Structure 1
Amino acid sequence: MGLNIKNYLNPPVLLVIFLVIISLMFVFPVLNMVILGAILAYGIRPIANKIQSKLKYSSISILLAMVVVLIPLILLLFYIVFELSIFVSWILANNPNTDVNSVMSQISSYLPSYVDVNSLNSYLDSVISNVGSYLLNYSVKFVGKFANVTLDLFILVCSVFYFVRDGENCLEFIRSFVPDDSKEFFDKTVSSVEDVLKSIFYGHFLTSVIIGIFGCIGYSLLGYPFGIFLGVLTGILQLIPVFGPWPIYWALFFIDVASGNYIRAVIVLFFGFFLSTVDMYIRPALSSHYADIHPLILLIGFLAGPLVYGIVGFVVGPLILGITYEVLDCYRKEYLLGDD
């Protein structure tokens, strides 16, 4: 056994291990952007290939594909900011003298007699103050970290570009280090990773788009003034585990009850239950078509990912846990069960 270790841990191998460790120390601060770039590259590559079939230059095709994907996201962001500004202006215009006390006095008529309205009012004042302080502090920190954010975005764009262009070469480079007797396991692992990516893209993001479209149609037909915007928010919330569309339709339900529109309140509540039920059928159907991963694994990934990688963790978290599960399953079938 000592002879085998000595043969493997020769000077070249030790030098490679040392350099890899040092390199990881440099890469680790931006590793989340590199991983996210690889994920986005997987989705952008088919678009780039279609564009390249009509153009000569691969670099131009990749840039055009990135623009095609980024433009809708940028437009969506501007749309949300624009609609929020209109929404706030609409509230102020229709309720110029509204404050927390007047709202609480209206709500108190619907509350049970044993509820202390003054305590609830004080609690809401404290919550609003804390939320305002948090948003202000976060904005200050964001401005202070603007240089880091710019660097992260630059690395993300570069990662997407080079993974789209040289992803196959990178994969072959890694595969060249795999022993011949393990190449089949490596190929199965790569295939499993692709299945996990498809499961996340189609099972979660496509489900969010479908629920968002249903929300836009339903809220608009019910006569809400910002039906499309509410549908967009519903689709975004659908991406966040535990939340889903319920904060939107429950808020609309209570608003309608407070305004005396009881019929629409009941309808929007049933419509919200319909959205939640549709999600229970669409998401498993799309996800299980590509990768059979237990929902708890993806749920933990969605919840724990942001704690480790920030907002990027919503994608990276479930992806890493899903890939880990698939790799362990491949290893179990290949080496423990002997399943070909």
Structure 2
Amino acid sequence: MGIDIKKHLTPPVLLVLFLVIVSLMIVFPVLNMIILGAILAYGVRPVARKIQSKLKYSSLSILIAMIVILVPLILLVAYIVMELIAILSGASSSATYADINGVLSSVSSYLPWSFDVNSISSSLNSSVQEIGKFLLNYLVKFVSSLMNITLDLFILICSVFYFARDGDNCFEFIRSFVPDDSKDFFDKTVESVKDVLKSIFYGHFLTSVIIGIFGAIGYSLLGYPFGIFLGVLTGILQLIPVFGPWPIYWALFFMDILSGNYPRAAVVLLFGFFLSTIDMYIRPALSSHYADIHPLILLVGFLSGPLVYGIVGFIVGPLILGVTYVVLDSYRKEYILGDE
């Protein structure tokens, strides 16, 4: 039985479609901030409700909850940028020929053939300085685009506030367009999306925070410079399923081997194995009660999300793919397997 398209494409419907398309074109440049605001609002609302039970003012409770949650995130980004600038500045100024010559000489003593240490060290030294200059220039350009960053942050903060305050009204507005025979599927889909959010937060972000804290404490106790920063990098890498903390502790291990600090090299390797091992216990314990998402879906989301949405893609990418997966799975169970 064919569908009469002309019957459904009435002037009001065409007007609505036109306005929706134009609105999406206007919103698209800041769509990532709006989506991220909706995600953060989901985490802000429980905190705001607890505060509201004592203050009785919803708007003030939401603002306090946003400060509690958003300010640490903004400070973390600022800390990462400042530490990167300090590390790159120090690396470009301390990467002397003597330092590189010493490392190459120690390496050549273990090799069966000889090579020109001075020539290789000169090339490496210039390469390190060029890389450092490139990264510093990139950071300068990043800071110079503060106007765009400020606009994005303003939209993000407004989105978090209004989604946290009026999220229920927004949900009911969208639900009112759903046909009655599909409301049950819509409600189940919304619950599945909530499970995805909880799974990603508890099973991945909270795990990375715990691993990052362990890493910062361990690297600082072992005497590494920028120990806290190394812990932050460990937590960030922990978000990516394939990576985890191993690039950090293996790099430190080889640095200690080259510098002749063999006891610390052995200790940091054991510590790294400890970080990788506890992940296998923490992640399932935190996320097993919520959505079971295949690691490949999260991996693709974490790697491709930043290419589309920038730095917020680390959150938006896996979330969109995870939500798409559970929606398809819910549709399959409701309309395909249910009809069999």
For the criterion TM > 0.5, the same-fold answer is yes
**Alignment-mate amino acid for residue 101 of structure 1:** Y
What residue in structure 1 maps to residue 97 of structure 2?
A: 101
Deviation at 1:129, TM superposition (A): 4.2
Q: How has the CA–CA distance of structure 1 residues 25 and 141 changed in structure 2, closer, same or farther, with 3 Å as cutoff?
A: same
Please give the alpha-carbon distance, in whole angstroms, between the structure 2 residues aligned to 1:224 and 1:139.
24
**Alignment-mate amino acid for residue 104 of structure 1:** I
What residue in structure 1 maps to residue 326 of structure 2?
A: 326
Please give the alpha-carbon distance, in whole angstroms, between the structure 2 residues aligned to 1:83 and 1:5.
59
The question of whether the paired residues in 1 share the 8 Å contact of 2:204 and 2:283 is answered with yes
**C-alpha offsets along residues 183-234 of structure 1, whole Å, 9 cap, x if unaligned?**
0110011011111111111111111111122223333443445544433332
**Alignment-mate amino acid for residue 304 of structure 1:** S
Deviation at 1:132, TM superposition (A): 3.1
What residue in structure 2 maps to residue 64 of structure 1?
A: 64
Q: How has the CA–CA distance of structure 1 residues 159 and 238 changed in structure 2, closer, same or farther, with 3 Å as cutoff?
A: same
Q: How has the CA–CA distance of structure 1 residues 137 and 201 changed in structure 2, closer, same or farther, with 3 Å as cutoff?
A: same
Match of 1:121, SS? helix
Deviation at 1:244, TM superposition (A): 2.5
The question of whether the paired residues in 2 share the 8 Å contact of 1:241 and 1:303 is answered with no
Please give the alpha-carbon distance, in whole angstroms, between the structure 1 residues aligned to 2:323 and 2:169.
21
Match of 1:110, SS? helix
Deviation at 1:102, TM superposition (A): 1.4
Deviation at 1:36, TM superposition (A): 0.4
Deviation at 1:77, TM superposition (A): 4.5
Count of aligned pairs between the two proteins: 335
Q: How has the CA–CA distance of structure 1 residues 332 and 120 changed in structure 2, closer, same or farther, with 3 Å as cutoff?
A: farther
Please give the alpha-carbon distance, in whole angstroms, between the structure 2 residues aligned to 1:212 and 1:196.
23
Report 1:150-161 matches (<5 A). Answer: 150-161=150-161
What residue in structure 2 maps to residue 110 of structure 1?
A: 107
Deviation at 1:101, TM superposition (A): 1.9
Q: TM-score, with normalisation over the residues of structure 1?
A: 0.88
**C-alpha offsets along residues 14-59 of structure 1, whole Å, 9 cap, x if unaligned?**
1111111111110111100000000010111100111111112211
Deviation at 1:180, TM superposition (A): 0.5
Please give the alpha-carbon distance, in whole angstroms, between the structure 2 residues aligned to 1:148 and 1:81.
17
Please give the alpha-carbon distance, in whole angstroms, between the structure 1 residues aligned to 2:15 and 2:79.
52
**C-alpha offsets along residues 261-315 of structure 1, whole Å, 9 cap, x if unaligned?**
2122112111112211222332244334311110000000000000000101000
Q: How has the CA–CA distance of structure 1 residues 114 and 176 changed in structure 2, closer, same or farther, with 3 Å as cutoff?
A: farther
Please give the alpha-carbon distance, in whole angstroms, between the structure 2 residues aligned to 1:228 and 1:174.
44
What residue in structure 1 maps to residue 31 of structure 2?
A: 31
Q: How has the CA–CA distance of structure 1 residues 114 and 307 changed in structure 2, closer, same or farther, with 3 Å as cutoff?
A: farther
**Alignment-mate amino acid for residue 199 of structure 1:** S
**Alignment-mate amino acid for residue 166 of structure 2:** D
What residue in structure 1 maps to residue 124 of structure 2?
A: 124
**Alignment-mate amino acid for residue 106 of structure 1:** G
Unaligned runs of 5+ in 1: none
What residue in structure 2 maps to residue 48 of structure 1?
A: 48
Q: How has the CA–CA distance of structure 1 residues 121 and 287 changed in structure 2, closer, same or farther, with 3 Å as cutoff?
A: farther
The question of whether the paired residues in 1 share the 8 Å contact of 2:38 and 2:160 is answered with yes
**Alignment-mate amino acid for residue 299 of structure 1:** L
**Alignment-mate amino acid for residue 174 of structure 2:** I
Q: TM-score, with normalisation over the residues of structure 2?
A: 0.88
**Alignment-mate amino acid for residue 295 of structure 1:** P
1:167 aligns with 2:167: yes
**Alignment-mate amino acid for residue 248 of structure 2:** I
The question of whether the paired residues in 2 share the 8 Å contact of 1:207 and 1:282 is answered with yes
Please give the alpha-carbon distance, in whole angstroms, between the structure 1 residues aligned to 2:270 and 2:251.
13
Report 1:247-258 matches (<5 A). Answer: 247-258=247-258
Unaligned runs of 5+ in 2: none
**Alignment-mate amino acid for residue 268 of structure 2:** V
Q: How has the CA–CA distance of structure 1 residues 115 and 58 changed in structure 2, closer, same or farther, with 3 Å as cutoff?
A: farther
Select between 264-273 and 169-178 the one with higher mean Cα deviation.
264-273
How many percent of aligned residue pairs carry the same amino acid? Answer: 74
Please give the alpha-carbon distance, in whole angstroms, between the structure 1 residues aligned to 2:119 and 2:325.
49
What residue in structure 2 maps to residue 261 of structure 1?
A: 261
Please give the alpha-carbon distance, in whole angstroms, between the structure 1 residues aligned to 2:267 and 2:151.
48
